[in-house]
């Protein structure tokens, strides 16, 4: 360990720590047997990035570019996965002289480096990154690099139980690696089609022989604890997926399975769920600063109702979950009524609707439990609306969603559902409308001139939008040119003047026009154009999601 004591001395010499702190660190080191740098980070003396900076200087090696989270094609194969994981390195590329670059997060034993060098028949150079980033890259690239292609050598494969298990493991691993949200398994006339939904779009992933259908669905049912013999009724279940049959080191995921009888057998949909209590920061959902501030302000109201609107799949629940995570604390009782619970979050009482209880009656029971904040998954009928508004004017903050295209029309939707204008006016705090757009792939996105048709489609002048960023498709975005999604938003804040309009039963247009003229209201399309300017998304995406 002499070397790490020297790193301690190095930090002392650089005045990062003083003599007293160093003695403390050395004392801790004798107890926990970890590296000085690791302990310093754990004790909050340094961040991981600062540690990497100092280590790079200490070891005399360059830093691995922080933004550079992509690696050279085919480079993974140079060092076997097990060896790389054990040695704490990751092959990331070769330099101009053909030297193999290995990313590490600290000193690596000389003997290990000599072994790798002999094996790959190349000289080796280390580049430094943080432990978190190294772990993340190892996870990502080794599981992505895992060959999930499926080959059916002979018919007997199909009868082999192990084959079906491995087939499902490979397909689900591929879905997880590709960040799919759902996997559809659909028996057709003479084949079994597997499709993935990625960034909101369904695409074919595999076509398998029809003979596999039965075994495939049965295996899924076993995993989810469903009745294999029951083939005439829809069934729902859940399981924890980890590809045990494959030699790959990845974290498991929770999935929900639903099976539905169709003409040619049973169709299965597997939903890949986010990790429990995955933290959703409202700041990271793509809301522009002023809008984010208004939305957060509406969430701090002691009572009233805040609505998030948009069609199915527009990211409304993500926004609500992020809001609840922001609002939760020890002194607040937060209760939800959902159908179904999509993300389990700590310190929040989540209730799931079932066939015995509807939204309105669940809400009435919850009100007897002294909640401060109530999240109603969706206001579906006038009954649920009546109870929600009642709760909102009697000292509770109610968060919910509605199916309307824009924020101003939420008001008339509430009227249509039978709400009294004075109730809406006195309870409604804000309406946020949103859509999800696909984000231009950061690896292959490039700026180019905006076309005439794009300008006319968006109804903007060339000077307003001279360039657009587009992805031409690469390995890291599955050739799509897009990677991940972000939101576009508009918000209607209900102040005194808007309240008066609501009392007068003003139309959506009147409310919209007032908000534009007097409150600088920016609609979804305007926000979308802003996102094109920033290079987040493309005109096609904005057109696709804002078409009425």
Question: Where along the sequence are the contacts to Zn ion (CB under 5 A)?
Answer: 441, 443-444, 471, 474, 477
Q: Which is nearer to Zn ion, 161 or 201 (CB)?
A: 201
β-bridge pairing 373-376 and 397-402: parallel
Say if strands 445-449 and 467-471 run parallel, antiparallel, or are unpaired.
antiparallel
State the minimum distance, in angstroms, from the CB of residue 437 to Zn ion.
Answer: 16
CB of residue 442 to Zn ion, shortest distance in Å: 8
Q: 39 or 441, CB closer to Zn ion?
A: 441
Helix axes 359-367 and 382-393, enclosed angle (nearest 10): 20
Q: How many CB atoms lie within 10 A of CB 170?
A: 20
Decide whether 70 or 258 has the Cβ nearer to Zn ion: 70
Whichever of 106 and 471 has its CB closer to Zn ion, that residue is 471
- Two tokens at 165? 């298990």
SS3 392: helix
Nearer to Zn ion among residue 157 and residue 540 (C-beta) = 540
Residues in the chain: 548
Placement of tokens 């997880």 in the chain: 176
Q: Of 316 and 438, which CB lies nearer to Zn ion in the complex structure?
A: 438
Three-state helix/strand/coil letters over 293-355: HHHHHHHCCCCEEEEEECCCCCCHHHHHHHHHHHHCCCCCCEEEEECCCCCCCCCCEEEECEC
Nearer to Zn ion, 415 or 443 (CB): 443
Q: How far is CA 307 from the centre of its chain?
A: 22
| Min CB(143)–Zn ion separation in Å | 19
- Shortest distance (Å) from residue 70 CB to Zn ion: 10
- CB neighbours (10 Å) of residue 142? 18
* Nearest-angstrom CA–CA distance, 62 and 68: 13
Nearer to Zn ion, 407 or 444 (CB): 444
DSSP conformation letters of 199-261:
TTEEEEEEEEEGGGHHHHHHHHHHHTT--SS--SS-EEEEEEE--TTSS-----EEEEEEEEE
Identify whether the C-beta of residue 400 lies closer than 8 Å to the C-beta of residue 376. Answer: yes
Least distance from Zn ion to the Cβ atom of residue 445, Å: 7
Cβ neighbours of residue 105 under 8 Å, at least 6 residues apart? 52, 88, 128, 129, 130, 131, 133, 134
| Shortest separation between residue 139's beta carbon and Zn ion, angstroms | 20
- Is 366 within 8 Å of 374 (Cβ atoms)? yes
As a whole number of angstroms, the distance between CA 432 and CA 379 comes to 15
- Least Å distance, CB 200 to Zn ion, is 17
d(CA 373, CA 353) in angstroms, rounded, equals 18
Angle formed by the axes of helices 508-519 and 496-503, to 10°?
160
- Which CB, 429 or 483, lies closer to Zn ion? 483
Q: Which is nearer to Zn ion, 274 or 484 (CB)?
A: 484
DSSP SS3 for 205 = strand
Q: Which CB atom, from 237 or from 442, has the smaller least distance to Zn ion?
A: 442
Asked whether the beta carbons of 363 and 387 are under 8 A apart, the reply is yes
Nearest distance, CB of residue 472 and Zn ion, angstroms: 7
What is the rounded distance in angstroms from the CA atom of residue 398 to the CA atom of residue 209? 50
């Amino acid at each position: 360990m002499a070397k790490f004591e020297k790193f301690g001395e190095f930090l002392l010499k650089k005045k990062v720590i003083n003599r007293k702190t160093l003695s403390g660190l050395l004392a801790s080191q004798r107890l926990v047997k970890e590296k000085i740098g690791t302990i310093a980070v754990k004790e909050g003396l340094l961040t991981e990035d600062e540690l990497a900076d100092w280590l790079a200087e200490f070891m005399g090696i360059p830093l691995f570019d922080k933004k550079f989270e992509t690696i050279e094609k085919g480079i993974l194969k140079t060092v076997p996965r097990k060896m790389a994981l054990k040695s704490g390195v990751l092959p990331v590329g070769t330099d101009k002289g053909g030297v193999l670059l290995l990313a590490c997060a600290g000193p690596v034993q000389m003997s290990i480096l000599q072994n790798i060098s002999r094996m790959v028949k190349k000289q080796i150079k280390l580049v430094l990154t943080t432990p978190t980033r190294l772990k993340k890259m190892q996870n990502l690239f080794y599981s992505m690099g895992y060959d999930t292609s499926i080959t059916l050598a002979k018919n007997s494969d199909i009868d082999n139980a192990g084959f079906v298990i491995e087939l499902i493991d490979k397909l689900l691993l591929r879905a997880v690696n590709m960040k799919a949200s759902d996997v559809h398994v659909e028996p057709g006339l003479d084949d079994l089609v597997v499709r993935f939904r990625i960034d909101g779009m369904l695409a074919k992933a595999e076509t398998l022989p029809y003979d596999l259908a039965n075994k495939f669905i049965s295996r899924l049912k076993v995993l989810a604890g469903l009745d294999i013999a029951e083939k005439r009724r829809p069934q729902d279940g859940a399981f924890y997926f980890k590809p045990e049959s494959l030699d790959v080191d990845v974290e498991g995921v929770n999935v929900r399975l639903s099976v539905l009888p169709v003409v040619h057998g049973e169709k299965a949909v597997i939903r890949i769920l986010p990790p429990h209590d995955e933290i959703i920061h409202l700041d990271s959902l793509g809301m522009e600063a002023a809008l984010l501030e208004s939305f957060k302000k509406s969430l701090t109201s002691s009572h009233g109702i805040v609505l998030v609107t948009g069609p199915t799949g527009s990211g409304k629940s993500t926004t609500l979950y992020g809001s609840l995570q922001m609002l939760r604390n020890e002194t607040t009782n937060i209760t939800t009524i959902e159908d179904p619970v999509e993300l389990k979050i700590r310190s929040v009482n989540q209730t799931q609707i079932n066939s015995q209880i509807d939204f309105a009656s669940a809400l009435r029971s919850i009100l007897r439990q002294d909640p401060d904040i109530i999240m109603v998954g969706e206001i579906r009928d006038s009954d649920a609306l009546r109870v929600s508004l009642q709760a909102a004017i009697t000292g509770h903050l109610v968060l919910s969603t509605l199916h309307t295209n824009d924020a101003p029309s939420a008001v008339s939707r509430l009227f249509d559902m039978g709400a009294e204008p004075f109730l809406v006016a006195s309870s409604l705090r804000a309406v946020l409308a949103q859509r999800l757009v696909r984000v231009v792939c950061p690896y292959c996105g490039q700026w180019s001139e905006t076309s005439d048709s794009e300008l006319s489609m968006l109804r903007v002048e060339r000077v307003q939008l001279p360039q657009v960023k587009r992805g031409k498709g690469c390995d890291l975005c599955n050739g799509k040119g897009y990677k991940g999604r972000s939101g576009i938003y508009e918000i209607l804040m209900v102040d005194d003047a808007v309240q008066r309009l609501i009392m007068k039963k003003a139309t959506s247009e009147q409310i919209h026009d007032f908000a534009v003229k007097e409150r600088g209201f920016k609609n979804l399309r305007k926000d979308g154009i802003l996102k094109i300017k920033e290079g987040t998304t493309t005109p096609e995406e904005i057109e696709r999601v804002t078409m009425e």
